[in-house]
Amino acid sequence: MRLDPRRFATAVTGAAAVALLIGILGAVPPVEAAPDSNKVTICHRTHSVTNPYRMITVSASAADGVPRGARNDHVSHDLSYTVDDTTYLVFDPSVSYPSNQKHWGDIIPPVRRGDGLNWNAPGAQAIYTGTGSSFGLCRRMSAKQFFDIEVEALPPGLTPDERNDALDEILEDLDDQGALEDDKIKDELDIDEFSDLDPTDLPERFDDLPDAPLGTPPPGGFGAEPGRQKIAVVVWFDLDRDGAFDSDEEPAPGVTVSLDAILEASSADVGGSSFLSTAAGDYVTDAQGTVIVDDIPAGQWDVAAVPPSGTEVTFDSEGTPNDGRAQVDVPADSAGFAWVGLVPAAAGAGGDDDAELARTGASPVVPASLGAAAILLLVGAGFLRRRRGAGTPSSMTS
């Protein structure tokens, strides 16, 4: 059964308010230290003009250009397309690509060894962050999603042998990507490489892989600014557990978000490591479920949301279920973004718990009277407001 969004917002925001009040008293659940990282998140090109990039996380050594020209190093994925004396290094939705020349390069942020790839090409950072009309051009995909998108993008008129060769190449591409998120499915299929599979007779476990969550775009107006780095985080109540911020779902105010440094860029980029102590710490989402941290050092950051009492995580921007933690890569002069979806801990498959929540409006954990008191506090402070604009993020608050 689907919860009534308004009643659920009243109930769970009460829980969030109580969690915030408890946090003031020093009882916020602790956040684990930022994990060590030797990985980077990139946009890997497809051959689809509707889904031009798969967002994947790979080992840093798979995106640093060493050794030069290695096929499985994403720096070598530097195709481009030239028309009317203009060369397009990354996908451009305004270009009409011929079916046999869907050529654009990967997007790699320069946060570790090497200079990245196409990071400063026109439109690249908007695609990577998902700002404005670029939202969804680089998105998380399961291996099966990528396979299906590539099959759909095959040029027409292929002979059966040519088509079978093309299907084999798609599986080889999955292997070359080296996506860390694909390791689990390969273990479950008991294969070393996707190319071990017969593309004309894929196993049921591969065929049944669920789609990766779409998430939500950054807040309106958020983006890169010369001379500074920043991070935005959006948290919302993902009632249907699909990892997408739907127009009938509500933002989650009062949620603690922890920001911790994983890797600091060189002091020449950020002006010295002393800035780390002023950027790392805990922040609280505003009325629109948003945290924006300005003037952070360039580097890699660990973002972790603390689910309020009575709630749990559905997905986060790394596509991980039930985690609420994501690595955010922020090169110099760039903006990073993360998101987290929440649901009531007692909800999930529907049934009596959901029905009772919808009927009474009570939190599954927090007593209704205490939740109501916390809600009154938030209403009095102006925190509880409807999300502005169906299906779009709220504007940044000053």
Q: What local confidence, expressed as pLDDT, does residue 30 receive? A: 43
* pLDDT band at 237; cut points 50, 70, 90: very high
Locate 358 and state its tokens: 């919808």
pLDDT of residue 265: 55
Report phi then psi at 106, rounded to 5.
-65, 165
**Predicted local distance difference test score (pLDDT) of residue 218:** 95
- Mean pLDDT across 65-79: 77
Say if CB 227 and CB 333 are below 8 A apart: yes
Amino acid at 69: G
Q: What is the pLDDT of residue 109?
A: 94
Higher pLDDT pick, 387 / 341:
341
**Are the C-beta atoms of 42 and 56 separated by less than 8 Å?**
yes
Question: What is residue 397's predicted lDDT score, i.e. its pLDDT?
Answer: 33
321 forms beta bridges with 315
What pLDDT score does 27 carry? 38
The answer to whether 237 and 343 have CB atoms below 8 angstroms apart is: yes
Other CB atoms within a 10 A radius of the CB of residue 336 amount to 30
- What percent of the chain stands above pLDDT 90? 61
In order of their start, the domains of the chain are: 5-36+217-380 (2.60.40.10), 39-207 (no CATH)
Look at residue 320 and tell me whether its pLDDT is greater than 90.
no
Predicted model pTM: 0.77
Give the residue-averaged pLDDT of 334-344. Answer: 95
Q: Residues near 376 by Cβ (< 8 Å), separated by ≥ 6?
A: none
**Tell me: the pLDDT tens digits for 125-139?**
999 999 999 999 999
What's phi and psi for 27, nearest 5 deg?
Answer: -115, 25
